[in-house]
Each structure stands twice: as C-alpha cells, then as structure tokens.
Amino acid sequence: MTQRTTSSPKADFKVYLGSTLFFIYVLFSTPIVGVAILGGFFLPFPMRYKFADIWIDCLLFMLKLCCGLSYEVEGLENVPNDRAAIILSKHQSAWETIALRQIISPQTAVLKKSLLQIPFGGWALATLKPIAIDRSNQKEALKMLLDQGVERLQEGLFVLIFPEGTRVAPDAYKKFNAGGAMLANKSGFPVIPLAHNAGEFWPRNSFVKFPGVIKVKIGPMISTLNKSTKDINAEAEAWISQAMLSIAKESG
C-alpha cells in the first residue's frame, strides 16, 4: 500500500528560530522535571504521573508558541472512560510520543529499554511504568510486552504501541508487527486504532518543526472477541491506512 508523497516544506529563519527556542526549552526543562519526578519516587503513581502530565502540557504549549505547531483530534468519543485499551498508532515523528499522553490518559508505552538510560528524562520515565523492551532479543521482548502489557491494562493504563516498530516517513509504508494484536488477543482488552500526520510537520530525526495543525484521527474500538491475532492486526491496519488517506485528502 502506498501513502501519498509529500513535498518537503522549506525551513526559513523563523522556522529555525522557533525550533531553536523549543530545543532550548526542552534542554533546560527536562532535568528540572526529571529531578522532580525522581524526588517523588515514594509518592503514589498517579501523583508522579501528574508531574509528567504538567510537563507534557507545557511542552505542547511551547511547541505552539515557538513553532506554531498545534493539533486537532477527531474521534475522542471512541476512547472508553470506563476501561483501558491498547492503542495502535502510526509512528512518524517524536511528536506522538509526547502528545498522545495528553490526548489519551492515563497511559504507558512500549519503548526501547535504552531510552531509560538518558539522564534525567529517561530516569524519570523509568518510574512511570513503561514497558521497556530490548529489541535485540525478540523472544524476550515479546514475552515482556505480553506479560507487562496485561499487567498495565489490568491496572487501568492505556498501552500505546507503534506496530510499525520504528518511525516511518509520511510517504512510506511498513507492515504492522503483530505484538500489539497478540497483547489484545491474550488480554481480551480492545484495540483503539489511531492515525495522524505529525511527520509532515515534525519530520523524523529532524531538528526543525514546521508550523501547522497536525490531524489526529481515533477510530472505533476493535473488539477482540472471537478474533485471531491476525484478524485484529489486519482490522487495525486497514482502518489506519484508510484514515491516513482521509487525512491526506483533507490536507489537500
């Protein structure tokens, strides 16, 4: 399946200035918030999570202020308020690793174990119940995803998974891994498919952030009842692919 090819936007002085100011804010705020969360390790999880939430809110405010980059969400009514679920999301940018915590909460995410070694930010993240896996050992990583994923869901946390496994450019396609669907099949919790076009404004591995409005679409819950892992994965992938085409059409 082919996504549309997007023309690369051009960065001018204002874009570089805004991106630099945002980078400086992240650079200085991360140690402060990291120390605050680490200092509160003895506090209940909801309180530590709230510290992180406030930081995310501030980051997104500064992103809009410095870079002119905001977002709009369609389909929030599809997010249950009485149970957790597995979020299967497109992965194009660093943006969704930040913003989706604000959009769907409380949440944990599957991430690379090495991220927890980053000073302050990674150390603080380690206290927030992430599902940190070692990708070099796929068998062990899958076991950890399934075991800890079920545990987090039963605790009432949404579990965010990027089934493409890595950030994929807006004009590229990568087949979904089955880990998220396997977790849904094992746990019995539903899947929420999620699409967005963040990579068009905050490209992967890019310093610059372009102004605009990121579009996020959240799909109807996918029940796991009497469905195989393959069926769950295919249904989520099909919905997300169609949603991406819809976003591309709306964006012109």
pLDDT band at 4 (very low <50, low <70, confident <90, very high): very low
Q: What does 213-240 look like in DSSP terms, one character per residue?
A: EEEEEEPPPB--TT--HHHHHHHHHHHH
pLDDT band at 2 (very low <50, low <70, confident <90, very high): very low
Sequence-distant (≥ 6) Cβ neighbours of residue 91 within 8 angstroms: 162, 164, 165, 166, 167, 168
Sequence-distant (≥ 6) Cβ neighbours of residue 250 within 8 angstroms: 215
> What are the pLDDT digits (tens) for 80-125?
999 999 999 999 999 999 999 999 999 999 988 888 888 888 888 8
Query: How far is the C-alpha of 189 from the C-alpha of 221, rounded, in Å?
Result: 10
For residue 1, what is the DSSP state? -
* 8 A C-beta contact, residue 186 and residue 67: no
Query: How far is the C-alpha of 164 from the C-alpha of 177, rounded, in Å?
Result: 6
Q: Going edge to edge, which strands form the sheet with 212-218?
A: 69-74, 212-218, 191-196, 86-89, 158-161, 107-112, 131-133
Q: For residue 63, which of 23, 121, 118, 108 has the smallest C-alpha distance?
A: 23
**Which pLDDT score is estimated for 8?**
58
| Longest distance between any two alpha carbons in the chain, whole Å | 55
Return the amino acid letter for 109.
A
Return the amino acid letter for 61.
F
Q: Which helix (H) or strand (E) holds 19?
A: helix 13-39
- Tokens in use for 4? 């549309």
Within its chain, how far is the Cα of 247 from the centroid? 18
> What are the pLDDT digits (tens) for 199-224?
999 999 899 999 999 999 999 999 99
Query: How far is the C-alpha of 152 from the C-alpha of 111, rounded, in Å?
Result: 14
